[in-house]
Amino acid sequence: MSSDKVTKLFECGEPKTYKHNQLNTADFGSFTQNSHKVFLYLITKIGGVDEFGKYLQPDKMKREHVLTVKEFQGVFNTDIHNTYKVLKQSTKHLMRSDITLDTPTSYMCINVCSRAVYNKKEGSITIKFTDDIMPYLAQVNEKFVMYNLKEVSNFKSLFTTRLYELIQEFKETGWMTKSIEQLRKSFAVNNKFKLYADFKRKTFEHACNEINNNYKMGLKFEEIKRGRKVVAVKFIFKKTRVHKRYNQHTGIAKNFYEKPKPQIKKQKSNADVLEGQLAFKDISKDAKPMKNVLSNLFSKFTNKS
């Protein structure tokens, strides 16, 4: 990822989160959906580039950051009272959670932060990232994914967020293949869902449905079998289109990324009822027929005569 692209992304104003590819595919262990969202938001505060758009080395990056209730609520549209609870609980989750990176040469567990404080009066959380995790949050090469934090704000399941993150690494290809073992690791299910049918239904099948409900991605999957056993899954989706635009004055080309558009949620309305009209359901059940009304009037007139 070029420094021009990174600079452009941070100039947009919306919080951008990112991870090194190894961290993106890691096992996030005991993370919950909420603690993962807090973690993602805190990453956006690191920045990763200087004022000239150049990458910062891990030792030059700020490790301590504050996230307020107002900031979290602004991105994830959560209830104000529930947001206080989310930040407070995330203080414990982030301290006791570690991330496992399984590489061809090592199996390593990394603590996320060395300190986490919930500030009651301010309604905020202060965390200090560990030295070990900083290299995986540094934008020192092209091996990291970045996306707008708002893109995952409507997801209810951690499995959905994790699948969406995995796709970001392959967003320009339109497909991604992961072994069942890799998916189990990325979803951090451990010994849960031992039966493949349960694992499929609870994790990536549900995640595909939720992503498609939010984006016009056309996400689907194909099972890859060895004999009768499913050993891998190929995900197919609408790819992100890259457009080159040239600056007429400098002649320098920049890449612009066009992602699949969000789904437009249909709202219920009385569109079939013209203004000034009442729908049949709005007419009182006690309304008297016109015939009865006329009969009463005629009866009163006769009595007066």
pLDDT digits (tens, 9 = 90+) for 206-253: 999 999 999 999 999 999 999 999 999 999 999 888 777 777 777 777
Q: What pLDDT sits at residue 144?
A: 82
180 in the same domain as 133: no
51 in the same domain as 195: no
4 in the same domain as 134: yes
The total of structural domains in the chain comes to 2
Using CA atoms, how far apart are residues 170 and 237, in angstroms rounded to an integer?
Answer: 10
Residue 196: enclosing H or E segment and its boundaries?
Answer: helix 196-202
- Residue 99 φ/ψ, nearest 5 degrees: -115, 135
pLDDT, tens digit, 9 for 90 and up, residues 131-176: 999 988 876 556 788 899 999 999 999 999 999 999 999 999 999 9
- Residue 158 φ/ψ, nearest 5 degrees: -65, -35
2 in the same domain as 93: yes
SS3 49: strand
pTM of the model: 0.78
296 found inside a domain: no
Residue 155 DSSP label: -
Residue whose structure tokens are 């992100």: 240
The candidate with the shortest Cα–Cα distance to 89, out of 134, 128, 132, 37, is 37
C-beta of residue 219 within 8 angstroms of C-beta of residue 240: no
305 found inside a domain: no
Instruction: Name residues whose C-beta falls within 8 Å of residue 198's C-beta, 6 or more positions apart in sequence.
Output: none
Domain holding 22, by residue range, is: 1-153
273 found inside a domain: no
Domain end call among 132, 153, 174: 153
Which of 93-97, 113-117, 144-148, 286-290 has the lowest average pLDDT?
Answer: 286-290
Domain end call among 125, 153, 181: 153
What type of residue sits at position 27? D
- 283 pLDDT tier (thresholds 50, 70, 90): very low
- 90 pLDDT tier (thresholds 50, 70, 90): very high
**CB half-sphere exposure, 214, CA atoms < 13 A:** 18
4 in the same domain as 127: yes
Q: Over 50: is that where the pLDDT of 22 sits?
A: yes
Q: What pLDDT sits at residue 228?
A: 94
- 72 pLDDT tier (thresholds 50, 70, 90): very high
Q: Over 80: is that where the pLDDT of 182 sits?
A: yes
164 in the same domain as 134: no
C-beta of residue 114 within 8 angstroms of C-beta of residue 130: yes
Mean pLDDT of the chain: 83
251 in the same domain as 133: no
C-beta of residue 298 within 8 angstroms of C-beta of residue 291: no
301 found inside a domain: no
Average pLDDT of the residues in 45-72: 84
Domain end call among 249, 265, 281: 265
What's 41's domain CATH number? Answer: 1.10.10.10
Q: What pLDDT sits at residue 276?
A: 35
β-pair partners for 112: none
